[in-house]
Structure 1
Amino acid sequence: MVHGQVISVAEAEWSPCRACGRLVYCRQWQRSWGVCPHCSHHSRLSARDRIAQLADPGSTRLLDFDVGAYDPLEFVDSEPYSERFQRARESTGMDEAVVCARAEIMERPLVIAAMDFRFMGGSLGSGTGELITRAAEFALEERIPLLVVPASGGARMQEGALSLMQMAKTSQALASLNEAGILTVSLITDPTYGGVAASYASTTDVILAEPGARMGFAGPRVIRQTLQQTLPDDFQTAEFLLERGWIDDIVPRAHLRGTLGSLLAAQTPRTPVVDGDVELVTDPSGLADTDPWAAVQRARDLSGATTADYLQRSFDSFLELHGDRVSGDCPAVIGGLGVLEGAPVVVVGHQKGHDSAELAARNYGMASPAGFRKAARLMRLAGKLGLPVVTFIDTPGAYPGVAAEERGQAVAIAENLVLMSALPVPIVTVVIGEGGSGGALALGVADRVLMCPGATYSVISAEGCAAILWDDAEKAPDAARALRVDAKSLLSLSVVDAVLPEPGDASGYAGSVPDDVMRVALASTLTALSGGDPAALVAERKKRFRAFGAEEAPVMQEVAG
Structure 2
Amino acid sequence: MTATVPAPAAEWVRCPGCHDIVYGPRLARSLQVCPGCGRHGRLTAPERIEQLLDPGWTAIEVPEVSADALHFVDSVPYPQRLAAARRQTGLREAVLCVRGTVDGRRVVAAVMDFRFLGGSLGAGVGERITIAAETAVRERTPFLLATASGGARMQEGALALMQMVKTSQAMAMLDEAGILTVGIVTDPTYGGVAASYATLPDVILAEPAARVGFAGPRVIAQTTGRTLPEGFQTAEFLLAQGLVDAVVPRPALRRAIARLLSAHDPKPRPAAADHSVRIVRRAEDLPERDGLAAVRLARHADRPTTEEYATFMLEEFMELRGDRVSGDCAAIVGGVGLLDGRPVVLVGHQKGRDTRERVQRNFGMPSPSGYRKAGRLMRLAAKLGLPVVTLIDTPGADPGIEAEQRGQAWAIAENLRLMSGLPVPVVAVVTGEGGSGGALALGVANTVLALSNAVYSVISPEGCAAILWKDPDIPREEAVAKAADALRLHARELLAYGIVDGVIGEPGEGAHTDPVLTMSLVRTAVAAAVRELARVDPAGLVAGRRRRFRSYGRVAEGDGR
Length-normalised TM-score, structure 1: 0.95
Which residue is equivalent to 2:342?
343
Q: Greater shift after overlay, 495-504 or 181-190? A: 495-504
| SS, match of residue 376 in structure 2 | helix
Partner of 1:413: 412
Q: What amino acid is aligned across from residue 33 of structure 1 in structure 2? A: L
> What does residue 532 of structure 2 align with?
528
- Cα separation, partners in 2 of 1:275 and 1:510, compared to 1, 3 Å: closer
Match of 2:181 in 1: 184
Q: Is the 8 A contact 2:303 2:512 kept in 1?
A: no
Supply the distance in 2 between the matched residues of 1:79 and 1:105 (Cα, whole angstroms).
42
Rounded to whole Å, the distance in 1 between the matches of 2:181 and 2:511 is 48
Q: CA deviation at 1:552?
A: 8.5
Measured in 1, the distance between the counterparts of 2:172 and 2:247 equals 25
- Contact residue 432 and residue 512 of structure 1 kept, 8 A: no
| Number of residue pairs matched by the alignment | 547
Measured after TM superposition, the shift of residue 80 of structure 1 is 1.5
Q: Secondary structure at the match of 1:432?
A: strand
Q: Secondary structure at the match of 2:17?
A: coil
Aligned pair 1:90/2:87, yes or no? yes
Match of 1:556 in 2: none
Going from structure 1 to structure 2, the CA distance change for 1:451 and 1:382 (only over 3 Å counts) comes to: same
Alpha-carbon shift at residue 537 of structure 1 (Å):
1.2
Instruction: Report which stretch shifted further, 62-71 or 489-498.
Output: 62-71
Q: Distance in 2 between matches of 1:412 and 1:349?
A: 16
Matched with 1:547 is 551
Q: What stretches of structure 1 of length at least 5 have no aligned partner? A: 554-561
Q: Deviations over 1:363-417 (max 9, x none)?
A: 0000000000000000000000000000000000000111111111000000000
Query: How many angstroms apart in 2 are the aligned matches of 1:207 and 1:224?
Result: 26
For residues 453-508 of structure 1, the C-alpha deviation after alignment (integer angstroms, 9 at most, x for no partner) is: 11110000000000011126441110000000110011101101100023256596
- 1:275–1:520 Cα contact (<8 Å) kept: no
SS in 2 for 1:344: strand
Whole-angstrom CA distance in 2 between matches of 1:262 and 1:312: 14
| Shift in CA distance, 317/552, structure 1 to aligned 2, threshold 3 Å | farther
Say whether residues 1:54 and 2:52 are aligned partners.
Answer: yes
Give the match for residue 422 of structure 2.
423
**1:7: Cα distance to partner?**
4.3
1:8 corresponding residue in structure 2 = 8
SS of the residue 1:161 aligns to: helix
- In the alignment, what sits opposite 1:557? none
The 1:507–1:498 alpha-carbon spacing in structure 2 relative to 1, beyond 3 Å, is closer
1:452 and 1:511 in contact (8 A); partners too = no
The structure-2 alpha-carbon separation of the partners of 1:27 and 1:508, relative to structure 1 and needing over 3 Å to count, comes to closer
Distance 1:68 1:87 in 2: 17
> Per-residue deviation at 1:512?
8.8
- Of the three residues 145, 151, 155, the one matched with 2:152 is 155
Q: Give 3-state SS (helix, strand or coil) of 1:74's partner.
A: coil
Which whole-Å CA distance do the structure 2 matches of 1:64 and 1:293 have between them? 68
Residue 22 of structure 1 and its aligned partner are, at CA, apart by 0.9
Cα distance in 1 between the residues matched to 2:170 and 2:520: 44
Aligned with 1:128 (options 113, 122, 125): 125
Paired residues of 2:432 and 2:451 also in contact (CA < 8 A): yes
Q: Secondary structure at the match of 1:327?
A: coil
1:45-444 matches, within 5 Å, as 45-58=43-56, 60-68=57-65, 70-268=67-265, 273-277=271-275, 278-444=277-443
> Counterparts of 2:217 and 2:64 in 1: how far apart (Å)?
32
Retained in 2: the 8 A contact 1:317–1:340?
no
- Residues 5-44 of structure 1 mapped to structure 2, 5 A cutoff: 6-8=6-8, 12-44=10-42
Change (3 A) 1:272 1:311: farther
Q: Is the 8 A contact 1:156 1:163 kept in 2?
A: yes
Moved more, 320-329 or 497-506: 497-506
1:174-210 CA-partner distances (Å, limit 9, x unpaired): 1001000000111000000000000000111111100
1:374 alignment partner AA: K
Structure 2 match to 1:558: none
RMSD between aligned residues: 1.8
Q: Give yes or no for contact 2:423–2:541 (8 Å, CA) kept in 1.
A: yes
Residues 272/369 of structure 1: CA separation in 2 closer, same or farther (3 Å cut): farther
Give the conservation status (yes or no) of the 8 Å contact 1:298–1:511: no
Counterparts of 1:508 and 1:95 in 2: how far apart (Å)?
61
Paired with 1:446 and 1:306, the residues of 2 have a C-alpha distance of 20
- Look up the equivalent residue of 1:544 and give its one-letter code: R
Q: 1:510 deviation in Å?
A: 8.7
Q: CA deviation at 1:531?
A: 2.5
For 1:316 and 1:52, locate their aligned partners in 2 and report how far apart those are by CA, in whole Å: 27
Which stretch of structure 1 is more off in the superposition, 251-260 or 220-229?
Answer: 220-229
Q: CA offset at residue 24 of structure 1?
A: 1.2
Counterpart amino acid of residue 24 in structure 1: V
Q: For residues 516 and 470 of structure 2, what CA distance do their matches in structure 1 show?
A: 33
Q: Aligned in 2, Cα 1:507/1:402: closer, same or farther, shift over 3 Å?
A: closer
Contact 1:311 1:317 in 2 (8 A): no
How many Å separate the matches in 2 of 1:507 and 1:213? 42
> Which 5+ residue runs of structure 2 have no aligned equivalent?
none
Cα gap change, 1:480/1:271 in structure 2, threshold over 3 Å: closer, same or farther? Answer: farther
* Structure 2: distance between partners of 1:354 and 1:140: 44
Secondary structure of 1:400's partner?
Answer: coil
State the shift of 1:77 in Å: 1.5
- Deviation larger for 447-456 or 530-539: 530-539
Q: For residue 496 of structure 2, what is the aligned residue in structure 1?
A: 492
CA offset digits 1:326-360 (Å, max 9, x no partner): 10000000000021111110000000122211110
TM-score, length of structure 2 as denominator length = 0.95
DSSP 3-state at the match of 1:196: helix
Structure 1 residues 207-247: Cα deviation after superposition (integer angstroms, max 9, x where no partner): 11000111000001211222222112301000000000000
Kindly state the Cα deviation for residue 78 of structure 1 after the two structures are TM-superposed: 1.9
Asked whether the 8 Å contact 2:304–2:512 carries over to 1, the reply is: no
Kindly provide the CA deviation profile for residues 38-79 of structure 1, in whole angstroms up to 9, marking residues without a partner as x. 111110000111101000123x01112132451011111222
Contact 1:299-1:511 at 8 Å conserved across structures: no
- Are the structure 2 counterparts of residues 367 and 506 from structure 1 closer, same or farther at C-alpha, using a change threshold of 3 Å? closer
Q: Secondary structure of 1:201's partner?
A: helix
* Contact kept? 1:181, 1:385, Cα under 8 Å: yes
CA contact (8 A) 2:368 2:408 kept: yes
